[in-house]
Amino acid sequence: MKRSLTGIKPTGDIHLGNYIGAIKPALQLAANHESYYFVANGHGLTKPHQREELHALTKGVVASWLALGLDPNQTTLYRQSDIPEVFELSWILATLSPKGLMNRAHAYKAMVDENEANSRELDAGINMGLFTYPILMAADILIIEPDVVPVGKDQIQHIEIARDLGLAMRSQHGSTVKLPEPYLMEDVAVLPGLDGRKMSKSYGNTIPLFMEKDELKKRIYKIKTNSLPPSAPKDSATSTIYMLYKQFATAEEVKAMEEAYQAGISWGDAKGELFRVANRRLEEPRELYKEWFSSPEKMERVLKDGAEKARQVSVPFLQTIKKEIGLA
């Protein structure tokens, strides 16, 4: 059976972009793949943080997966920090990474650009964890040898780096490590947020998945629109509301909405309809999320089992690599 793997960083509330871009496709893949999904809490350290906050956010990511339908008997769900082999492999991969490869990585470049825009020193606030972030991510991936990695478009560069480092292992040390492919749902590779830019924790434009109903409604009504009058035809191709709607509506509902856009629908009505279908999908997971979140022992058991299963893969893999490079 083919394998799928993906990770989510615990740096904020899980939002619609995470769900549509990664969680939903990952859960679909789990039906016919051996699946390994994890919380990248080591990556969470690259941002300044409080211990309690990191704990709570980590719990939030785990509860989200479970609330949205991940079956722990079918999928191996684990916490990155429970797999020490990942961090050991990360060091080995660091020695194979040209520094220039990291200079081009976008999370680091974005921080440099932000510093420049704010007239700060170029390296202000950048720790080595952030700089080498893609190497740890490559270790996450290569160690499990997945065939596919379901992610949003912003992670493609990181998967390419993982492939580059896998290739380096192959050419320099005769390793047979598998090179993974990204698994991208083209139409939702970049889900827009409230302001039309990519929905992202760092832009503060997200719609958190498990907001209370009234909050969800308020958030949806904040989506930025143009000032066309209610009766004017609207362009669905450039509409954030429409793009989000498509993810939650049935085929008939989408068709009807498309027609309404052509005929002219008020933005208020379009938002109301988006809220209706989004809430329909999220109502049950919202309650399950609360149940999981308040059952930390149950989550701990799932994570412990998951770590055990993941280590059945990571331990022998690392041992092979260590032999190949002369460390064992």
The site map against ligand TYM for 171-210 (x = CB under 6 A) is -----------------x-xx------xxx----------
Smallest gap, in angstroms, from Cβ of residue 200 to ligand TYM?
Answer: 6
Smallest gap, in angstroms, from Cβ of residue 118 to ligand TYM?
Answer: 22
d(CA 182, CA 6): 10
Rg (CA), the chain: 21
In the chain, the N- to C-terminal Cα span, in Å, equals 30
Which lies closer to ligand TYM via its Cβ, residue 135 or residue 265? 135
Given 151, 241, 313, 318, the residue binding ligand TYM (CB under 6 A): 151
Segment contacting ligand TYM (CB under 6 A): 4-12, 66-74, 288-296, 305-313? 4-12
Contact between residue 7 and residue 181 where contact means Cβ atoms under 8 Å apart: no
Given 105, 149, 184, 241, the residue binding ligand TYM (CB under 6 A): 149
Contact between residue 320 and residue 178 where contact means Cβ atoms under 8 Å apart: no
Helix (H) or strand (E) holding 164: helix 156-173
Smallest gap, in angstroms, from Cβ of residue 249 to ligand TYM?
Answer: 18
The site for ligand TYM, by CB under 6 A, has a size of 25
Which residues, numbered 155-174, are part of the site for ligand TYM (CB under 6 A)? 155, 158
Which lies closer to ligand TYM via its Cβ, residue 130 or residue 168? 130
d(CA 129, CA 108): 10
Which lies closer to ligand TYM via its Cβ, residue 190 or residue 298? 190
Which lies closer to ligand TYM via its Cβ, residue 10 or residue 293? 10
d(CA 56, CA 100): 35
Smallest gap, in angstroms, from Cβ of residue 256 to ligand TYM?
Answer: 25
Asked if 140 touches ligand TYM (CB under 6 A), the answer is yes
Given 111, 141, 169, 310, the residue binding ligand TYM (CB under 6 A): 141
**CA nearest neighbour of 312 among 94, 59, 34:** 34
Contact between residue 165 and residue 93 where contact means Cβ atoms under 8 Å apart: yes
Using alpha carbons only, what angle is made at residue 108 by residues 104 and 113, rounded to the nearest 5 degrees? 95
Alpha-carbon distances of 256 from 128, 234, 247, rounded to whole Å? 51, 14, 14
Which lies closer to ligand TYM via its Cβ, residue 265 or residue 311? 311
Using alpha carbons only, what angle is made at residue 254 by residues 253 and 258, rounded to the nearest 5 degrees? 120
Enumerate the β-bridge partners of residue 78. 38
Neighbours of 176 (CB within 10 A): 10
d(CA 145, CA 138): 11
Amino acid at 321: I
User: Which DSSP category does 22 fall into?
Assistant: I
- Nearest to ligand TYM by Cβ — which residue? 21
Which lies closer to ligand TYM via its Cβ, residue 40 or residue 102? 40
Smallest gap, in angstroms, from Cβ of residue 40 to ligand TYM?
Answer: 4
Q: How many residues does the chain have?
A: 328
Segment contacting ligand TYM (CB under 6 A): 3-11, 68-76, 275-283, 310-318? 3-11
Segment contacting ligand TYM (CB under 6 A): 49-57, 71-79, 145-153, 241-249? 145-153
Which residues, numbered 9-48, are part of the site for ligand TYM (CB under 6 A)? 9, 17-18, 21-22, 40, 43
The contact set with ligand TYM (CB under 6 A) reads 6-9, 17-18, 21-22, 40, 43, 137, 140-141, 149, 151-152, 154-155, 158, 188, 190-191, 198-200
